[in-house]
Structure 1
């Protein structure tokens, strides 16, 4: 059994990490939540019924953990201060313009409806293929392509 679990980790840890990275946009948080995902999967492996691929099941656990993390963060009363330091390759003016465009893009992505928003995040931040996105979300590759295309159209209208 331990060998099976080790094999599951080797085969799927990278996919779960990339999925979480697409949700969190933070490598450290994604890594921590990946470990938590496999920790919980070990204790609930008996509930896996084989109705979906194991990677999909693991990503569902990861998504649930991420939602729990978000709920915890919204309950916190303090906020950390972050100082944005411009890249040395950009002038301060370019850094301000780049940051403004990036903010506009992420605001527009945030306004998308749920399946489109998640597909865009997974495609851009997680660098998942359309086939992987469809598999993780329990849909087809074509469904992922169509949702990404529609999301791009809406973003171009807004921006």
Structure 2
């Protein structure tokens, strides 16, 4: 077991015992990637921030809730993504509006030169347009696998499906994207 995995396991155990500093460390560790996932699902910064707050409140409440025969979390990261996914789905059901992915280029991490920025923005717009034309399942598979870089196993856990089914859905989603990008 690597040092990072051991440290994370220790933080999880401490957080389950009610340690706020341990949960704060887990929050800092996962905030950026969970935020990115939620943002790409709702495409609104304010909405994403509100949902992230709910995700981490639910995680804290679940971790600290006393339960007999509690099983240790096998994959904290996938568990957080699962909470985020369910929170977004609940929010979308309540809001009853379609998710738009037209602002995908807002989350530019690096700041290349002007020419590179323009080319990067054009590619992001093409990808956003193609993603917006996909069905919800295909879009989510691609976001989990390639934007958030989850493994097949972790993405399958988040979506509540088998790893083989995740691979099939990814293959189909990539095939659809190829058609949309070449159109």
TM band (smaller chain): 0.5 to 0.7
Preserved CA contact (<8 Å) 1:20 1:34: yes
Offset of residue 142 of structure 1 = 1.5
| Counterpart pick for 1:138 among 151, 160, 178 | 160
- For residue 118 of structure 1, report the CA deviation from its aligned partner: 0.4
Residue in 2 that maps onto 1:24: 39
Aligned to 2:57: 39
Mind listing any 5+ residue stretches in structure 1 that lack a counterpart? 75-82
Deviations along 1:92-142, one digit per CA (max 9) or x if unpaired, are xx4333312211111111211122110101112111011100011111112
Instruction: Say which structure, 1 or 2, has more relative contact order (CA 8 Å, 6+ apart).
Output: 1
CA contact (8 A) 2:38 2:52 kept: no
Q: Normalising by structure 2, what TM-score?
A: 0.56
**Whole-Å separation in 2 of the counterparts to 1:142 and 1:12:** 30
Q: How many Å apart are 1:64 and its aligned residue?
A: 4.0
Query: In angstroms, what is the RMSD of aligned CA positions?
Result: 4.4
2:143 to 101, 121, 124: 121
CA contact (8 A) 1:17 1:31 kept: no
Q: How many residues align structurally? A: 146
- Gap regions ≥5 residues in structure 2: 1-12, 98-105
> Residues 133 and 6 from structure 1, CA distance in 2 versus in 1: closer, same or farther, beyond 3 angstroms?
farther
Q: Is the 8 A contact 1:19 1:122 kept in 2?
A: no
Give the Cα separation in 1 of the matches to 2:170 and 2:156.
11
Moved more, 96-105 or 33-42: 33-42
